[in-house]
Structure 1
Amino acid sequence: MTDQQWSMTNQYQEEVPVSPVGQYFNSSALCIYIIGVLEFQVPLDESQAIPLLQRLFLPINPRFSSIMVEDRSGDKRWKKVDVNLKDHINIPLFPEFNSVKSYDKYFADYLSRIALEKLPEKRPLWEIHIVNYPTSNAASSLIFKLHHALGDGYSLMGALLSCLQRADDPSLSLSFPSVKPSKSVNKSFFSKFSTILSLAYNTIEDFWWGIMKSSVTEDDETPIRSGFKGMETRPVTISTTEFSLEQIKLIKSRLGVTINDVITGIFFCGIRLYMQEINNESRVANCTALVLLNTRDVEGYQSVDDMLNAKARGPWGNHISFLHVPVPKLENGRISNPLEFVWEAHSIIKRKKQSLVVPLTGMLLDIERKIKGHEAVAKRIHGTLSRSSMVITNLIGPSQPMSLANYPVKGLYFTLAGGPESLVISIISYMGVLRVTLKTEKHFINEDKLSSCLKTALEMILKAAMEIPQQTRS
């Protein structure tokens, strides 16, 4: 153990406070988990689980060896405890099947089942599941279930990937696609004045709309939003599909927009196609996506060391906020020209960047926490989630192939569990592939049809983009 890790351990012996967001996510109103899956090309040696967790995972952060306790004032703190790793390791036994498809279904049912289960509060809030059975995507799988109170996706992805190495050269750090900031342009006085006015107007409008969406206004009930109260207890289905990052980059270069614009446009189009196919009237229903944002002051990361460096990315924890994004309606113009969804996504994202609604929302929640307490804020966040149609979240994954203790990783994906929404879309990149995970309300959303509609949207947008000159812009 390094001096820094030893110092952190001593600090946690004194019981450090749980962050406000951590308390929101572990309250009577909310209990949110992050589920990550690593897919391997070969079966795993189960006997290595405890040594690897002891050597690689536990030293990363004292929270993995701590439980939440409540003090006299009702605030929660992290208390260091002895960890019995056997309590955190699950090795399920599946029936013997003759086909991989049968294992696929059993694995999906198993993943859906553990998504609904709550972790015991009397031990550290994480567990792993070693599934040594083949599926269509892997020879074996390792499932991580971590409470969101431990940290956000950025923190936990850094923790997870710090246990892995580059498969081609373990001596080198994993690297990630760069995220380049847009170049600043010298503006005239009138241009700057116009920007300030737009910033003020957009902030007021977005802030007021966000308050209404969080407390009064609900999305329509549609094929992707059942409106069922108590969604947290409803069975879910977790499925994945893949997109080619090269195809998305090709659309990006043709249209002169960003990768995020293209991905968002594909989702907007695919979701509306699905809604239209299930119920034609719902193609113009009111529908909002709640986009989770990383609020750290970073431009991107290049290595796992950068991700875990507090100076580079801000302190460990939950540094996230949310943004309401209206899903464009499937009107006649957008049916004939699917690129309209990308242009609309580009316009919405650009406008949202010219707004201070994210920090303003954070200030409002903090004021409410100080006046009414954590439970009141947790209920407000629950209302925000339940009144929206879906949650969208994304992470950047490594560009090179990974391995865990010389076991090559074929793929990875993640999702959120425990929330009151009918649909969660999670995206992560790995070796030129975008892995899209759909967590859907079981027996309500047809995940296969939804996945098919998303792929159809990509094909439609790619075809339309290739039919225009490369220099064309919106």
Structure 2
Amino acid sequence: MKASFNKVASYDYPSLCSRCVGLMLCVKLLHGRSDVPLSPTAKLFLQHDMYLVTNCVVCLENPLDVEAAKFSLKNFALIKHPRFCCLLVRDKNGEKHWRKIQVDLERHLIIPEDIVGEGEDEEEIVNQYMADLAISSPLSTDKPLQEFHFLMAHKCDAMRVYHALGGGISLMSLFLLVVGRLMILISLQGWQMQTTNDVFFAIVTSGLSRYLHHRMPEGANEPWSPFGRLFLQQELYEVVNLLVGLEKPIDVDATKMEINNSVLIKHPRFCGLLVRDEKGKEYWRKTQVDLDRHFIVLEDRVGEGEDEEEIVNQYMADLAVSSPLSTNKPLWEFHFLMAHKCVAMRFHHALGDGISLMSLLKAVFRKVGDPNEFPTMATSSASSPWDKNKFLMNLWNSFLYITTLILRILWIRDPKTAISGGPGVELWPRRIATAKLHLDDMKAVKKTVTGAKMQTINDVFFAILSSGLSRYLHHRTPTVQEGLQLTTVSMVNLRQQPGLQEVSNMMTSFSRARWGNDIGVHLLPLYYHRIVANPLDHLKKATSMLTKKKLSKEAISSHFLSVWLTHCFGSKVACSIISRLFCNTTICISNVIGFQEKMSFSGNPIEFLRMNTSSTPQAIQIHMVSYAGRADLQILVAKDIIPDPKFLAKCFEDSLLEMKATAAKLQS
């Protein structure tokens, strides 16, 4: 073991005095005893496989005065310490002991006058000297097991102490006494004796991750995560489709250059190929990215008609059903719809969830008007502190909701309605409609709920869904039973640090917002009401229900349940079990927080961001992404079950406007 300390901090004199007293007591206790047995740990460190010497290098500002250093060492506690004035001996039975002797300081001083290596980098020369000591220079047992190397040409002192003499804290405490004496004679740069272990370990973890990624050769394999394996199965095959609408015609060459110089293709997941071993287990294999294979450029219009939005939405709907990603290249691609000034970015869900992917795009997009400025991301406020009542409520809610989750997977199903899906519906043709909402309207509605401690606009989002679906069901089937309960599967971000993140932070294992699929689900009950006297009642009920959901472990339990099933039974069995959750519910929703300002992609201003995923067994999927004051809902439906998605989108828009009008009346 070697320790390198380049700085010395000021020390605490009372602490030094207490340590001196301890040392003197130790000397007094051992006085008069010839041999002292070795401790069990010291015996371990004498074995060949565990032979450890602590090497500490002290860098000085001024040339070292050897005579002054000798004087200090002779007249201070170091060589008077029982361990530093003892010889290692064996008795007739072969047992090792410490035997006190007189210390000849000259035998412990090694003074190379010349430079100890070649080159111009002083630090590298000294480091190599210390590295050589670490393997090729055991301490001689015919003298006490310590020595000092004065590297005169480099103004350094290498202290070598056998680990059997004491641990790092013991040795450094003793060295402090020496330094306290030497500081009268020489000027030291300083040791930082106090360390922050958490930061130190974080730096080591992050650095090793970077180095291993740098060293990982092409062809090296990394196992897939449990969620990645789940998203490869047919029933849960998921691709995230992000539609980026641009204001100007697309310059493909400029975009290619932008992507080629970005962190996107350097990210381990985006340069990893899907491979399987002989047992069928999935791995990532690093490969070179050929951008031409990932860019699909469509010069002509991708559909017929005059409504640009409807044409592009239908293209995205077709991608949601019939276009799996090729496995002979990393699992992502960009579709350039030149005639529509749109880019459809497709990422397999195994690469990461919505938060991970949007955080990565943060490193690709820039603020409009400033190509060097990265986006500012919306954040979520921290949760309120816990108390006893919240703890008890969390226990009860967790028990209730986790039990409901398991029963829902096993056999409980939503009642059949005009918008119900089921097994096999994920393969049916799809359509997409867009509901365009304004964040200012949602925030205005949010403020009207007295005493509501809403952390995000999710409460308003779910209230809009509740009101809008009630409108739509009443339009389709006016005879629906009042108070009918349907169930929504809501995707939940489980990261301790909410919102979009820096990609570099997400890639570290100690991060509070890790990269990957760190998601769970909430099962949110949605009730049909034909007539509601106050539209804000939807919001009050949504707030009450979501507050209880937040005070539970339902989401994280669903995450670990998926991981456990995959580990224990394999991804195919786990997928067949988890897919029942989607078959037995009616709607799937997600909400991804986006960028606050208007952004540009390769210098081209972005008009909108819209997201949808591959289809599920449900007939309705709703995905919301916020961007520059807007919140667009992409409503993906099975068109044979819901033939009029535009009307459904209008129901959501009208619901928000009605709530906003009611809120304005209450405030006036």
Once the two structures are aligned, what percentage of the paired residues are identical? 24
Counterparts of 2:545 and 2:516, CA distance in 1: 29
Residues 242 and 9 of structure 1: CA distance in aligned 2, closer, same or farther (over 3 Å): farther
Which residue of 2 is the match for residue 291 of structure 1?
490
Which residue of 2 is the match for residue 423 of structure 1?
620
Q: How far 1:304 moved relative to its partner?
A: 6.7
Q: How far 1:6 moved relative to its partner?
A: 6.9
Counterparts of 1:276 and 1:383, CA distance in 2: 28
Which residue of 1 is the match for residue 331 of structure 2?
125
Higher relative CO (Cα under 8 Å, sequence separation at least 6) belongs to 1
**1:273 is paired with a residue of what secondary structure?**
helix
Q: 1:113 aligns with which of 313, 318, 334?
A: 318
Residues 80 and 202 of structure 1: CA distance in aligned 2, closer, same or farther (over 3 Å): same
Q: Is the 8 A contact 1:127 1:145 kept in 2?
A: yes
Q: Is 2:239 the partner of 1:33? A: yes
**1:281 is paired with a residue of what secondary structure?**
coil
**Residue-by-residue CA offset, 1:68-110 (whole Å, 9 max, x unaligned):** 2222443211012233322221122435999742x44433332
Residues 161 and 196 of structure 1: CA distance in aligned 2, closer, same or farther (over 3 Å): closer
Which residue of 2 is the match for residue 71 of structure 1?
277
**1:413 is paired with a residue of what secondary structure?**
strand
One-letter amino acid of the structure 1 residue matched with residue 431 of structure 2 = T
Stretches of structure 2 that go unaligned for 5 or more consecutive residues are: 1-206
Q: Is the 8 A contact 2:419 2:619 kept in 1?
A: yes
1:275-424 alignment, distance < 5 Å: 275-282=473-480, 284-301=483-500, 312-330=511-529, 332=531, 335-424=532-621
Higher mean C-alpha displacement, 442-451 vs 4-13:
4-13
Residues 388 and 108 of structure 1: CA distance in aligned 2, closer, same or farther (over 3 Å): same
**Residue-by-residue CA offset, 1:213-243 (whole Å, 9 max, x unaligned):** 112111122232233x312221111222211
**1:82 is paired with a residue of what secondary structure?**
coil
- The structure with the larger Rg is 2
Q: How far 1:324 moved relative to its partner?
A: 0.5
Counterparts of 2:217 and 2:521, CA distance in 1: 30
Residues 376 and 96 of structure 1: CA distance in aligned 2, closer, same or farther (over 3 Å): closer
Q: Is the 8 A contact 1:222 1:285 kept in 2?
A: no
Q: Is 2:621 the partner of 1:433? A: no
Which residue of 1 is the match for residue 114 of structure 2?
none
Residues 405 and 81 of structure 1: CA distance in aligned 2, closer, same or farther (over 3 Å): same
Q: Is 2:349 the partner of 1:152? A: no
Stretches of structure 1 that go unaligned for 5 or more consecutive residues are: 135-139
**Residue-by-residue CA offset, 1:251-271 (whole Å, 9 max, x unaligned):** 112224332212211111111
Residues 95 and 352 of structure 1: CA distance in aligned 2, closer, same or farther (over 3 Å): closer
Q: How far 1:306 moved relative to its partner?
A: 6.0
**1:397 is paired with a residue of what secondary structure?**
strand
**2:547 is paired with a residue of what secondary structure?**
helix
Counterparts of 2:601 and 2:563, CA distance in 1: 40
**2:528 is paired with a residue of what secondary structure?**
coil
Which residue of 2 is the match for residue 90 of structure 1?
296
Q: 2:409 aligns with which of 197, 211, 214?
A: 214
**2:270 is paired with a residue of what secondary structure?**
helix
Counterparts of 1:98 and 1:356, CA distance in 2: 48
Q: How far 1:310 moved relative to its partner?
A: 6.4
Q: 1:43 aligns with which of 249, 253, 258?
A: 249
Q: Is the 8 A contact 1:284 1:329 kept in 2?
A: yes
TM-score scaled to structure 1, two decimals?
0.88
Counterparts of 2:547 and 2:359, CA distance in 1: 28
Counterparts of 1:298 and 1:277, CA distance in 2: 41
One-letter amino acid of the structure 1 residue matched with residue 275 of structure 2 = V
One-letter amino acid of the structure 1 residue matched with residue 548 of structure 2 = R
Q: How far 1:36 moved relative to its partner?
A: 0.2
Counterparts of 2:227 and 2:302, CA distance in 1: 43
Matched residues, number: 454
- Aligned-residue RMSD, C-alpha: 2.6
**2:527 is paired with a residue of what secondary structure?**
coil
Residues 9 and 287 of structure 1: CA distance in aligned 2, closer, same or farther (over 3 Å): farther
Q: Is 2:398 the partner of 1:200? A: no
**Residue-by-residue CA offset, 1:97-133 (whole Å, 9 max, x unaligned):** 99742x4443333222222211122221111110112
Which residue of 2 is the match for residue 250 of structure 1?
444
Residues 12 and 354 of structure 1: CA distance in aligned 2, closer, same or farther (over 3 Å): farther
Counterparts of 2:551 and 2:645, CA distance in 1: 35
One-letter amino acid of the structure 2 residue matched with residue 162 of structure 1 = A
Higher mean C-alpha displacement, 19-28 vs 164-173:
164-173
Residues 74 and 38 of structure 1: CA distance in aligned 2, closer, same or farther (over 3 Å): same
**1:53 is paired with a residue of what secondary structure?**
helix
One-letter amino acid of the structure 2 residue matched with residue 444 of structure 1 = I
Q: Is the 8 A contact 1:178 1:302 kept in 2?
A: no
Q: 2:462 aligns with which of 236, 261, 264?
A: 264
